[in-house]
Amino acid sequence: MQLGEDQLSAMPGFSGTDKHSTMKSSPRVSGFEDIPRPFVIGVGGGTASGKSTVCSKIMEQLGQNGINEKQQQVVIISLESFYKPLTPEQIVLARKGQYNFDHPAAFDEQMMLDTLLDLKANKTVQIPEYDFKNHCIKSETLRTVNPTDVILFEGILVFYFKDIRELFNMKLFVDTDADTRLSRRVLRDMKEFGRDLDQILRQYTTYVKPAFEEFCLPTKKYADVIIPRGADNTVAIDLIVQHIQELLRGSVKSNAPQRSRHNSDSLVSRPH
């Protein structure tokens, strides 16, 4: 499904056309005709910087929360879905905080690339869901992701892999102070994953922090937009949401002739 004018104009903050004053208030910016669909946004940043929270806020402001997955026009995909499976020996190490989940080699780059290429080709894909408590993929659940308008792909190393980095149409880096990230990470790992403080701090100092400095932080230079303070930065999030809405407005127009659509996706004609 593609975002139609009706749905877009229902989005909070959408300042586009109405049926009587097409484009008068917000002229189409040249170049938007070529906006790809889906529009893929990479969201990088250190652990617990607020990547997921920023993505959720973007979804919410695009009016996408609480919508049936099949009808969602914006989806969030997380890098953790692409962790390589661990051997029994590695699981033992992981339980003691002695496995490096922050190294690029921990991820299945090929699977990530294939999945993103399929999504870019508007194919339906199945994505594993990750279980942080047990350090493995939830074998019983594969998430189906249908062709969509916007993909938010978030994770610590989304900009590390060149092939994947080049697939993004927009790159955001969530930049949150390291002390804040560590304190959030400790609370999250204890509350949500039932880990003990010793294990969390050992893993953080041995692997998480050095890998952040070696592999994640250097990718900040690829970002189009850096978001200081993460989800607290409502100004940045509002601007990004507005920009996505503008882009989608262009995309709706340019893709219309090639795609079948439902009546509810009615488009308002625009001057060229």
Ligand X SMILES: Nc1ccn([C@@H]2O[C@H](COP(=O)(O)O)[C@@H](O)[C@H]2O)c(=O)n1
Ligand Y SMILES: Nc1ncnc2c1ncn2[C@@H]1O[C@H](COP(=O)(O)OP(=O)(O)O)[C@@H](O)[C@H]1O
User: Letter for the amino acid at 248?
Assistant: L
**Burial of 104 by CB count in 10 Å (0-12 exposed, 13-18 middle, 19+ buried)?**
middle
Measured distance CA(157)–CA(77) in Å, rounded: 13
Counting contacts by CB under 6 A, is residue 55 touching ligand X? no
Residues 175 to 204 in contact with ligand X, rule: CB under 6 A: none
Total residues in contact with ligand X, by rule CB under 6 A: 12
Query: Which of ligand X, ligand Y, none has residue 135 at its interface (CB below 5 to 8 Å by kind)?
Result: ligand X
For ligand X, which residue of 82, 101, 107, 159 counts as binding (CB under 6 A)? Answer: 101
Q: Which range in 22-30, 46-54, 59-67, 238-246 contacts ligand X by CB under 6 A?
A: 46-54
Residues binding ligand Y (CB under 6 A): 45, 47-53, 184, 188, 230-232
231-267: b (≥16 Cβ within 10 Å) or e: bebeebbeebbeebbbbbbbbbbebeeeeeeeeebee
Q: What's the min distance (Å) between Cβ of 200 and ligand X? A: 8
Tokens representing 34 are 């070529």
CA distance 95 to 92: 5
List the one residue from 58, 74, 156, 174 that touches ligand X (CB under 6 A): 156
- Name which position in 5, 102, 175, 246 contacts ligand X (CB under 6 A): 102
Neighbours of 187 (CB within 10 A): 12
Residue 17 Cβ vs ligand Y, minimum distance, rounded to whole Å: 34
Return the number of the residue (34 or 89) whose C-beta is nearest ligand X.
89
User: What, of ligand X, ligand Y, none, does residue 53 touch, CB below 5 to 8 Å by kind?
Assistant: ligand Y
User: Which CB, 123 or 138, lies closer to ligand Y?
Assistant: 138
String marking each residue 57-86 x if it binds ligand X according to CB under 6 A:
-----------------------x------
Q: Could you list the residues that contact ligand X (CB under 6 A)?
A: 47-48, 51, 80, 94, 101-102, 132, 135, 155-156, 208
